[in-house]
Chains A and B, each alone.
Chain A
């Protein structure tokens, strides 16, 4: 653990840890959209800007930088709120709200920063290209169904060749991390659709209570990666707990 200074306060932090996470852990709020503790910081949304003063070549230098992918380093001093920072975050939010006008978190932040939602004509893609869905799919689920397509202002996120992905297992992890909630998941009696990825999956329902458990492909994927009793594979988590409890009782553990 080393000492760093954030907003004038000395804070104990682990060297190399994310500066944003360290601030959050210490009750200092920094707005952020594309950061998620489960995956490596990508630094795309540019909202988490802070001012870091560090020594380089014997001179102290202050620069504006994103905090999510900036490491805790010895001797750094951090300012998380200033006129300059607010102006820049405001500028970023103006750009973001034109892209994602419906997103709750973007709207809340925009309101907090007094952003003019009409600064630019609305383009309304809703996706802010933060990359979290791609990263969660790849690094957490171990599937590579998603990726960025193109570059510049035509950049998009999608499945390879913009086609129904062979890789997608329908776990909907992407939808759960999406900061703008723009990945829709539609469950019917026996299907799960993710229209954004043009994916339709067969849904397995709990053989005890009938609630949606997971898609067929997701279960098959779990079979490869997690050790699980065949008996409980198609049972929802609630019923699964009961199943194990009953089993334990029957065996006299409880």
Chain B
């Protein structure tokens, strides 16, 4: 191999057209045989999360250095999709040793090649230090964030360059498709998916096999399969990461679904803000088409199917099934009446099967590894009833006040404690856990007593929250739960399509009510009104956006009612967030360093430069910007609220 620059765009005409499953197997064997089996693989994360850390240039620099050192036969640099641990980017892992380097810069490339790749020496400075134990971790699996995960869906993407179909094929890609086309009937595929207990990962948790069956049986001339990649939940990005990092997995899932249902046309509806996902997916589709894995007579069979990529309408509500289909047809993304199901009459009034990205990603795995493997992971019993449990893994987007944030994949039924404390490393800065919001804006907020709750579709619903698409926001003691509910109301009143009076006006009024409470104008009546209005918004709205929009308010009212009452009765915000209810004061701890006075942008602080309590904050000038609080090195700034104030 010569030291040629890496070609990111692959010449489609050079790809081999495969005419049968046998062709594919042969091609795979050749790909595997071409490479030195003892080579080291350096997996460099180049997902959107890491792009900010210039991971592209890191991958290039590593390639250059490998070349210079003459190691190209022994080392392969793979620019992969997201590894999940985005806050530690740029990330890279060296296999088979599994040495993980974090916060890597291009400047480190020479060192990494000379020391680690050539001589096997570990570079200490690039290792991850566990903020909880203070220990340095050499291997990926020494890191609690990875150790406690079960990466079934995400791990595949770790070893491959999403822009190269060869990488996917070499790792057994499209073998599930070969199995389905060669050995199975559509009904058998549906049967397997039903028996596996796979339930929709997009929010509703509807059994996928049951949906496929209904779609297949519905009368229609054309049937469509659609992938929902609109992903609008604030802070969630598991679908983006799957599409960016392993697009062929989704494509393969969709081809299998189309075969089972009897569809010849598919769509991927991708959120407009996901340019890298669109680009990687488009590249993947072109390559699959060029190789005969997509399009007319797939792998020489009489089954034809193709996929179009459509960019989303840019609104959260466009992820809702009927709005999504309206948007696909070129209309405004507004939900329509629900008495007709889209599986029976959806896109262009034809039977249309919509599944979430992660749902599709599970399909090839189930076909390859089998129903028993899948039902062996998770909770409940789905052997008689596909609603009987939650099977497989689920990817969560863990954000908020935890030590380790990122994408985490765990078996269904893992407890909140495992996710937040074992994987997430617990709460930052030694603060106390206050609650966790699951299910995004339609979900609910659960307090400490639910930490040992297994996370699955039914348990979360029972607790008053929901799985949703997998957003997980962790809150510490410095969070105000009324403010938190207000935040989601604000998001939803903006994102509602505005059709239903109940949703549009109702959410606006609920926002006003929580705003009044946060700003110290709340009364007991506000709480009563919030509760009665929540019911009208839920009962009277057309789509699930409105029907679930009150959940954050209702769950915080249920589990944190005393906070609402504190605001109302005592003017107290115990999270010390609501500005009208807090005030800043300098305590006797003051060392007289003058830093706060220097930093205050409003000139509200003055005093004599000496120890003791000479520094004072002028309450009339103070805008509660928190800068003094954040800059004081002596913890001498006190935020008071309620009766202390």
Contacts and interface: CB of A to CB of B under 8 A. Distances in A.
B310 interface: no
A139 to B, nearest CB: 14
Contact of B505 (A71, A88, A151, A153): A153
Given A70-B339, A153-B493, A91 B504 contact: no
Contacts of B499: 42-44, 129
Contact of B536 (A70, A88, A98): A88
Contacts of B512: 120-121
Interface string B496-517: 1111111011111100100000
A91 B536 contact: yes
A43 B542 contact: yes
B508 A153 contact: yes
A21 to B, nearest CB: 15
A69 B498 contact: no
Contacts of A69: 337
A64 B542 contact: no
B502 A92 contact: yes
B315 interface: yes
The interface size bin for chain B is 20 to 34
A91 B493 contact: no
A11 interface: no
Contacts of B494: 151-154
B541 to A, nearest CB: 7
Indicate the member of A91, A129, A150, A155 with the most B CB atoms within 10 Å.
A91
Given A91-B540, A121-B512, A148 B506 contact: no
Interface in B298-339: 315, 317, 332, 337-339
B496 A91 contact: no
B337 A129 contact: no
Given A44-B501, A95-B509, A153-B507, A71 B495 contact: no
A179 to B, nearest CB: 12
Contacts of A119: 529
Nearest to A153: B508
A62 B513 CA distance: 31
Contact of B339 (A49, A71, A96, A148): A71
A70 B495 CA distance: 25
A148 B338 CA distance: 22
Interface in B521-543: 529, 532-533, 535-536, 539-542
Interface string A222-238: 00000000000000000
Nearest to A130: B501
A128 B529 CA distance: 22
A153 B502 CA distance: 11
A46 interface: yes
Given A95-B505, A151-B495, 16 more contacts: A43-B499, A46-B540, A49-B540, A64-B540, A71-B339, A84-B539, A91-B533, A95-B501, A95-B502, A95-B509, A96-B501, A129-B501, A150-B498, A151-B496, A152-B496, A152-B498
27 contacts: A43-B499, A44-B500, A44-B501, A46-B500, A49-B539, A64-B539, A66-B542, A70-B337, A91-B506, A91-B532, A91-B533, A92-B502, A95-B501, A95-B505, A96-B501, A98-B505, A98-B509, A119-B529, A120-B509, A129-B501, A151-B315, A151-B494, A151-B495, A151-B497, A151-B498, A153-B498, A153-B505
Interface of A: 42-47, 49, 64-66, 69-71, 73, 84, 87-88, 91-92, 95-96, 98-99, 119-121, 128-129, 148, 150-155
Interface of B: 315, 317, 332, 337-339, 492-502, 504-509, 512, 529, 532-533, 535-536, 539-542
